[in-house]
Amino acid sequence: MKKLLTLALLAFGVSNSYAQDAAKFDKYIGEYSVKDAPFSTIIISMNGGSLWGEAVGSGDSELLASDQENVFDLTSVDGTVSFAAEQGIIKSVVLSMNGEQVTGTRQFAPLSDFAGVYNFEAGGPVSKITVGEENGELSIDVPEFGQSTIENTSVNDMFYEPNYQSDFIFERNENGEVVKLKVDVKSQGVTLMGEKEMAATENSLEMYVGNFNFVDIDMSLQTKIKDGKIYGITEQGEAFLSATDEAHLYNIEGVPGTVKFKVNEVGSVTEVVLTYDGQPMTAYPSAE
Whether residue 21 sits in one domain with residue 97: yes
Same domain, 155 and 136: yes
83 backbone dihedrals φ, ψ, rounded to 5°: -110, 145
The answer to whether residues 188 and 124 touch, using CB atoms and an 8 Å cutoff, is no
Write down the pLDDT at residue 22.
58
Which CATH number characterizes residue 257's domain? 2.40.128.50
Q: Cβ contacts of residue 94 below 8 Å, gap of 6+?
A: 81, 82, 83, 84, 101, 102, 103, 104
* Collapsed DSSP state (helix, strand, coil) of residue 208: helix
Domain boundary among 63, 82, 107: 107
Does 33 lie in the same domain as 74? yes
Examine the domain organization and report whether 91 and 125 are in the same domain.
no
Which helix (H) or strand (E) covers residue 11, if one does?
helix 2-24
> CB under 8 Å to 133, separation ≥6 — which residues?
111, 112, 114, 115, 139
Nearest residue to 223 (alpha-carbon basis) of 233, 214, 238: 233
Whether residue 144 sits in one domain with residue 69: no
User: Do 124 and 176 lie in a common domain?
Assistant: yes
| Nearest-angstrom CA–CA distance, 161 and 159 | 7
Q: What CATH number corresponds to the domain at position 98?
A: 2.40.128
88 in the same domain as 22: yes
Same domain, 126 and 68: no
Nearest alpha carbon to residue 234 among 223, 221, 225, 224: 221
- Amino acid 202: pLDDT: 58
pTM of the model: 0.59
Domain stops at, among 168, 196, 224: 196
Per-residue pLDDT of the chain (288 residues; tens, 9 = 90+): 222 222 222 222 223 333 335 568 899 999 999 998 889 999 999 988 889 999 998 889 999 999 999 999 998 888 999 999 998 899 999 999 888 899 999 999 899 889 989 999 888 899 999 999 888 899 999 999 999 999 999 999 999 999 889 999 999 988 788 999 999 998 888 999 999 987 555 567 888 999 999 998 999 999 999 888 899 999 989 999 998 878 789 999 988 999 999 988 778 899 999 999 899 999 999 876
HEC per residue, 232-244: EEECCEEEEEEEC
Domain end call among 196, 215, 237: 196
| Same domain membership, residue 206 and residue 154 | no
Report the C-alpha gap between 84 and 96 in whole angstroms.
Answer: 13
Query: Quick one: 99 and 192 in the same domain?
Result: no
Strand, coil or helix: what is 118? strand
Q: Say whether both 13 and 103 belong to one domain.
A: yes
Instruction: Work out how many domains the chain is built from and give that number.
Output: 3
According to DSSP, the residues that pair with 237 across neighbouring strands are: 234
Is the backbone of residue 277 left (phi > 0), alpha (psi -120 to 50) or beta? Answer: left
Instruction: Provide the domain limits for residue 59.
Output: 2-107
Please tell me whether residues 212 and 270 are part of one structural domain. yes
Q: First and final CA of the chain: distance in angstroms? A: 68
